[in-house]
Amino acid sequence: MNQQVSKQQIEEIWIEEEPYYEAVGEEIVLFESAYNNKLPLLLKGPTGCGKTRFMEHMAWRLKRPLITVSCHDDLTASDLVGRYLIVGGETRWIDGPLARAVRSGGICYLDEIVEARKDTMVVIHPLADDRRVLPMEKVGEQLQAAPEFSMVVSYNPGYQSVLKELKQSTRQRFVAIEFNYPSADLEKRIIVRETGVDAQSAQNLVKFAEMTRNLKGSGLDEGASTRLLVHAAKLMVSGISPITACSAGIGQALTDDPDMVAAVQELSAALF
Protein backbone atom coordinates (compact mmCIF):
# COMPACT_ATOMS: atom_id res chain seq x y z
CA MET A 1 0.00 0.00 0.00
CA ASN A 2 1.32 3.37 -0.95
CA GLN A 3 1.83 5.21 2.28
CA GLN A 4 3.19 8.29 0.61
CA VAL A 5 -0.15 9.79 -0.27
CA SER A 6 1.13 13.31 -0.54
CA LYS A 7 -0.97 15.78 1.32
CA GLN A 8 -0.23 18.60 -1.01
CA GLN A 9 -0.95 16.90 -4.28
CA ILE A 10 -4.68 17.22 -4.33
CA GLU A 11 -4.86 20.76 -3.08
CA GLU A 12 -2.59 21.66 -5.91
CA ILE A 13 -5.00 20.64 -8.61
CA TRP A 14 -5.54 24.13 -9.83
CA ILE A 15 -6.74 24.55 -13.32
CA GLU A 16 -4.48 27.08 -14.96
CA GLU A 17 -5.88 27.36 -18.45
CA GLU A 18 -9.48 28.02 -19.29
CA PRO A 19 -11.13 24.70 -20.15
CA TYR A 20 -13.29 25.11 -23.23
CA TYR A 21 -16.95 25.06 -22.32
CA GLU A 22 -20.00 26.30 -24.16
CA ALA A 23 -22.91 27.18 -21.93
CA VAL A 24 -26.13 25.50 -23.02
CA GLY A 25 -28.39 27.44 -20.71
CA GLU A 26 -27.94 29.37 -17.50
CA GLU A 27 -25.83 26.76 -15.78
CA ILE A 28 -22.81 29.03 -15.24
CA VAL A 29 -24.81 31.76 -13.54
CA LEU A 30 -26.72 29.19 -11.53
CA PHE A 31 -23.55 27.50 -10.38
CA GLU A 32 -22.00 30.78 -9.34
CA SER A 33 -24.91 31.89 -7.27
CA ALA A 34 -25.29 28.48 -5.65
CA TYR A 35 -21.58 28.62 -4.84
CA ASN A 36 -21.84 32.09 -3.37
CA ASN A 37 -24.78 30.97 -1.25
CA LYS A 38 -22.88 27.88 -0.08
CA LEU A 39 -25.44 25.53 -1.58
CA PRO A 40 -24.39 22.10 -2.79
CA LEU A 41 -25.16 21.15 -6.37
CA LEU A 42 -26.52 18.13 -8.17
CA LEU A 43 -25.74 17.76 -11.86
CA LYS A 44 -28.05 15.45 -13.75
CA GLY A 45 -27.56 14.30 -17.27
CA PRO A 46 -26.60 11.51 -19.62
CA THR A 47 -23.02 10.38 -19.97
CA GLY A 48 -20.66 12.40 -22.11
CA CYS A 49 -22.77 15.55 -22.26
CA GLY A 50 -20.16 17.75 -20.59
CA LYS A 51 -20.72 17.53 -16.84
CA THR A 52 -17.09 16.94 -15.99
CA ARG A 53 -15.90 19.58 -18.42
CA PHE A 54 -18.35 21.99 -16.87
CA MET A 55 -16.87 21.29 -13.44
CA GLU A 56 -13.35 21.96 -14.69
CA HIS A 57 -14.53 25.15 -16.25
CA MET A 58 -16.24 26.31 -13.07
CA ALA A 59 -13.23 25.42 -10.91
CA TRP A 60 -11.11 27.53 -13.23
CA ARG A 61 -13.62 30.36 -13.17
CA LEU A 62 -13.95 30.36 -9.39
CA LYS A 63 -10.22 29.75 -8.95
CA ARG A 64 -10.63 26.81 -6.59
CA PRO A 65 -8.90 23.43 -6.65
CA LEU A 66 -11.11 20.66 -8.02
CA ILE A 67 -11.09 17.30 -6.29
CA THR A 68 -12.91 14.66 -8.29
CA VAL A 69 -13.93 11.33 -6.83
CA SER A 70 -15.37 8.76 -9.22
CA CYS A 71 -17.78 6.73 -7.15
CA HIS A 72 -17.99 2.96 -7.46
CA ASP A 73 -19.98 0.35 -5.62
CA ASP A 74 -17.22 -0.41 -3.15
CA LEU A 75 -16.63 3.20 -2.21
CA THR A 76 -17.03 3.41 1.55
CA ALA A 77 -17.27 6.35 3.88
CA SER A 78 -13.64 5.80 4.91
CA ASP A 79 -12.53 6.20 1.31
CA LEU A 80 -13.98 9.71 1.39
CA VAL A 81 -13.29 10.81 4.96
CA GLY A 82 -9.97 9.12 5.67
CA ARG A 83 -8.49 6.27 7.63
CA TYR A 84 -5.66 5.20 9.86
CA LEU A 85 -2.65 3.88 8.08
CA ILE A 86 0.43 2.33 9.56
CA VAL A 87 3.44 4.53 9.17
CA GLY A 88 6.71 3.42 10.66
CA GLY A 89 5.18 1.21 13.32
CA GLU A 90 2.57 3.77 14.33
CA THR A 91 -0.90 4.42 13.17
CA ARG A 92 -1.43 7.73 11.52
CA TRP A 93 -4.64 9.36 10.36
CA ILE A 94 -4.74 10.23 6.69
CA ASP A 95 -7.48 12.45 5.37
CA GLY A 96 -9.57 11.19 2.50
CA PRO A 97 -10.26 13.38 -0.53
CA LEU A 98 -13.48 14.79 0.88
CA ALA A 99 -11.86 15.76 4.16
CA ARG A 100 -9.04 17.44 2.29
CA ALA A 101 -11.43 19.43 0.15
CA VAL A 102 -13.37 20.45 3.25
CA ARG A 103 -10.20 21.65 5.02
CA SER A 104 -8.68 23.44 2.10
CA GLY A 105 -11.86 24.96 0.68
CA GLY A 106 -11.80 23.17 -2.62
CA ILE A 107 -14.62 21.99 -4.81
CA CYS A 108 -15.31 18.31 -4.22
CA TYR A 109 -16.95 16.66 -7.19
CA LEU A 110 -18.46 13.22 -6.54
CA ASP A 111 -18.99 11.80 -9.99
CA GLU A 112 -21.82 9.25 -10.47
CA ILE A 113 -22.83 9.44 -6.84
CA VAL A 114 -25.48 6.69 -7.15
CA GLU A 115 -22.76 4.14 -7.75
CA ALA A 116 -21.43 4.59 -4.22
CA ARG A 117 -22.61 2.39 -1.37
CA LYS A 118 -25.69 3.55 0.46
CA ASP A 119 -23.90 4.15 3.76
CA THR A 120 -21.51 6.52 1.98
CA MET A 121 -24.34 8.93 1.32
CA VAL A 122 -24.88 9.50 4.99
CA VAL A 123 -21.51 11.17 5.54
CA ILE A 124 -22.24 13.79 2.94
CA HIS A 125 -25.58 14.74 4.45
CA PRO A 126 -24.29 17.08 7.21
CA LEU A 127 -22.00 18.67 4.64
CA ALA A 128 -24.83 19.26 2.25
CA ASP A 129 -27.04 21.30 4.52
CA ASP A 130 -26.46 24.52 6.42
CA ARG A 131 -24.29 22.83 9.05
CA ARG A 132 -21.54 22.24 6.52
CA VAL A 133 -19.63 19.90 8.79
CA LEU A 134 -17.92 16.61 8.11
CA PRO A 135 -18.17 14.27 11.09
CA MET A 136 -15.00 12.22 11.45
CA GLU A 137 -16.03 9.59 13.94
CA LYS A 138 -12.75 7.79 14.13
CA VAL A 139 -10.76 10.82 15.18
CA GLY A 140 -13.63 12.26 17.17
CA GLU A 141 -13.66 15.44 15.18
CA GLN A 142 -16.26 17.55 13.46
CA LEU A 143 -14.61 19.24 10.58
CA GLN A 144 -16.14 22.60 9.79
CA ALA A 145 -15.99 23.35 6.07
CA ALA A 146 -13.94 26.31 4.88
CA PRO A 147 -16.10 29.07 3.39
CA GLU A 148 -14.82 28.37 -0.12
CA PHE A 149 -15.66 24.67 0.09
CA SER A 150 -18.35 23.44 -2.21
CA MET A 151 -19.73 20.02 -2.93
CA VAL A 152 -21.05 18.94 -6.29
CA VAL A 153 -22.45 15.52 -7.10
CA SER A 154 -23.52 14.16 -10.45
CA TYR A 155 -25.77 11.36 -11.50
CA ASN A 156 -27.28 9.94 -14.63
CA PRO A 157 -31.05 9.56 -14.34
CA GLY A 158 -30.94 7.37 -17.46
CA TYR A 159 -30.06 4.32 -15.39
CA GLN A 160 -33.53 3.06 -14.70
CA SER A 161 -32.72 0.82 -11.83
CA VAL A 162 -34.51 0.95 -8.53
CA LEU A 163 -31.25 0.22 -6.78
CA LYS A 164 -29.55 3.16 -8.38
CA GLU A 165 -32.03 5.77 -7.41
CA LEU A 166 -31.03 8.74 -5.31
CA LYS A 167 -32.88 8.81 -2.00
CA GLN A 168 -35.15 11.75 -1.32
CA SER A 169 -33.24 12.56 1.87
CA THR A 170 -30.14 12.98 -0.28
CA ARG A 171 -31.54 14.69 -3.32
CA GLN A 172 -33.54 17.23 -1.35
CA ARG A 173 -30.35 18.89 -0.16
CA PHE A 174 -29.11 20.00 -3.52
CA VAL A 175 -29.63 22.66 -6.10
CA ALA A 176 -30.10 20.64 -9.24
CA ILE A 177 -28.98 21.54 -12.74
CA GLU A 178 -30.09 19.39 -15.61
CA PHE A 179 -27.73 18.78 -18.49
CA ASN A 180 -28.62 17.47 -21.85
CA TYR A 181 -26.96 17.06 -25.20
CA PRO A 182 -26.38 20.49 -26.70
CA SER A 183 -28.55 21.68 -29.58
CA ALA A 184 -27.43 20.69 -33.06
CA ASP A 185 -25.78 24.01 -33.87
CA LEU A 186 -23.99 24.21 -30.56
CA GLU A 187 -22.87 20.62 -30.74
CA LYS A 188 -21.45 21.27 -34.18
CA ARG A 189 -19.56 24.30 -32.86
CA ILE A 190 -18.18 22.25 -29.98
CA ILE A 191 -16.92 19.52 -32.28
CA VAL A 192 -15.24 22.02 -34.60
CA ARG A 193 -13.65 23.86 -31.70
CA GLU A 194 -12.46 20.72 -29.91
CA THR A 195 -11.05 18.90 -32.90
CA GLY A 196 -10.59 21.29 -35.80
CA VAL A 197 -12.61 19.10 -38.12
CA ASP A 198 -14.31 20.86 -41.05
CA ALA A 199 -17.82 22.22 -40.59
CA GLN A 200 -19.48 19.81 -43.02
CA SER A 201 -18.09 16.73 -41.28
CA ALA A 202 -19.07 18.16 -37.91
CA GLN A 203 -22.59 18.70 -39.16
CA ASN A 204 -22.75 15.14 -40.45
CA LEU A 205 -21.52 13.86 -37.12
CA VAL A 206 -24.24 15.77 -35.33
CA LYS A 207 -26.83 14.38 -37.70
CA PHE A 208 -25.39 10.93 -37.09
CA ALA A 209 -25.63 11.42 -33.34
CA GLU A 210 -29.28 12.36 -33.76
CA MET A 211 -29.90 9.12 -35.63
CA THR A 212 -28.33 7.07 -32.87
CA ARG A 213 -30.38 8.97 -30.31
CA ASN A 214 -33.48 7.92 -32.26
CA LEU A 215 -32.47 4.37 -31.37
CA LYS A 216 -32.36 5.00 -27.65
CA GLY A 217 -34.66 2.62 -25.87
CA SER A 218 -35.07 0.33 -28.85
CA GLY A 219 -31.76 -1.42 -28.95
CA LEU A 220 -29.42 1.21 -27.59
CA ASP A 221 -29.31 2.23 -23.94
CA GLU A 222 -27.95 5.64 -24.83
CA GLY A 223 -27.42 7.55 -28.04
CA ALA A 224 -23.99 8.81 -29.04
CA SER A 225 -22.75 11.42 -26.59
CA THR A 226 -20.96 14.61 -27.53
CA ARG A 227 -17.80 13.02 -26.16
CA LEU A 228 -18.02 10.17 -28.67
CA LEU A 229 -18.59 12.62 -31.50
CA VAL A 230 -15.44 14.43 -30.46
CA HIS A 231 -13.58 11.12 -30.50
CA ALA A 232 -14.77 10.30 -34.02
CA ALA A 233 -13.94 13.80 -35.23
CA LYS A 234 -10.43 13.54 -33.79
CA LEU A 235 -9.94 10.26 -35.64
CA MET A 236 -11.18 11.89 -38.82
CA VAL A 237 -8.77 14.79 -38.41
CA SER A 238 -5.90 12.32 -38.15
CA GLY A 239 -6.85 10.93 -41.52
CA ILE A 240 -9.10 7.98 -40.69
CA SER A 241 -11.96 7.66 -43.19
CA PRO A 242 -15.26 8.97 -41.81
CA ILE A 243 -17.04 5.61 -41.91
CA THR A 244 -14.24 3.82 -40.07
CA ALA A 245 -14.00 6.68 -37.58
CA CYS A 246 -17.73 6.51 -36.88
CA SER A 247 -17.63 2.77 -36.51
CA ALA A 248 -14.62 2.65 -34.18
CA GLY A 249 -15.23 5.91 -32.37
CA ILE A 250 -18.99 5.64 -31.97
CA GLY A 251 -20.71 2.47 -33.21
CA GLN A 252 -18.53 -0.11 -31.52
CA ALA A 253 -18.35 2.02 -28.39
CA LEU A 254 -22.14 2.12 -28.11
CA THR A 255 -23.03 -1.53 -28.37
CA ASP A 256 -21.87 -5.12 -28.86
CA ASP A 257 -25.01 -6.35 -30.58
CA PRO A 258 -23.90 -7.29 -34.11
CA ASP A 259 -27.19 -6.26 -35.73
CA MET A 260 -26.98 -2.89 -34.04
CA VAL A 261 -23.33 -2.39 -34.93
CA ALA A 262 -24.19 -3.15 -38.56
CA ALA A 263 -27.16 -0.78 -38.47
CA VAL A 264 -25.07 2.00 -36.98
CA GLN A 265 -22.47 1.38 -39.65
CA GLU A 266 -25.11 1.67 -42.37
CA LEU A 267 -26.36 4.90 -40.82
CA SER A 268 -22.91 6.41 -40.96
CA ALA A 269 -22.47 5.15 -44.52
CA ALA A 270 -25.69 6.96 -45.37
CA LEU A 271 -24.21 10.29 -44.37
CA PHE A 272 -20.62 10.23 -45.54
Q: Which residues bind another protein (CB under 8 A)?
A: 1, 76-78, 83-84, 86, 89, 91, 138, 161-163, 184-185, 203, 207, 210-212, 214-215, 218-219, 259-260, 262-264, 266-272
Residue 85: strand, helix, or coil: strand
CB of 74 to another protein, least distance (A): 8
Do residues 44 and 154 lie in contact, with contact meaning Cβ atoms separated by under 8 Å? Answer: yes
Is the CB of 47 or the CB of 76 nearer to another protein? 76
Is the CB of 30 or the CB of 243 nearer to another protein? 243
CB of 73 to another protein, least distance (A): 12
Is the CB of 23 or the CB of 86 nearer to another protein? 86
Do residues 160 and 50 lie in contact, with contact meaning Cβ atoms separated by under 8 Å? Answer: no
Cross-strand partners of 83: 94
> Smallest Cα–Cα separation from 205: which of 250, 259, 239, 263?
250
Is the CB of 36 or the CB of 200 nearer to another protein? 200
Do residues 142 and 133 lie in contact, with contact meaning Cβ atoms separated by under 8 Å? Answer: yes
CB of 87 to another protein, least distance (A): 12
Cα 43 to Cα 180: distance, rounded to the nearest angstrom: 10
Do residues 108 and 67 lie in contact, with contact meaning Cβ atoms separated by under 8 Å? Answer: yes
CB of 97 to another protein, least distance (A): 15
Is the CB of 176 or the CB of 243 nearer to another protein? 243
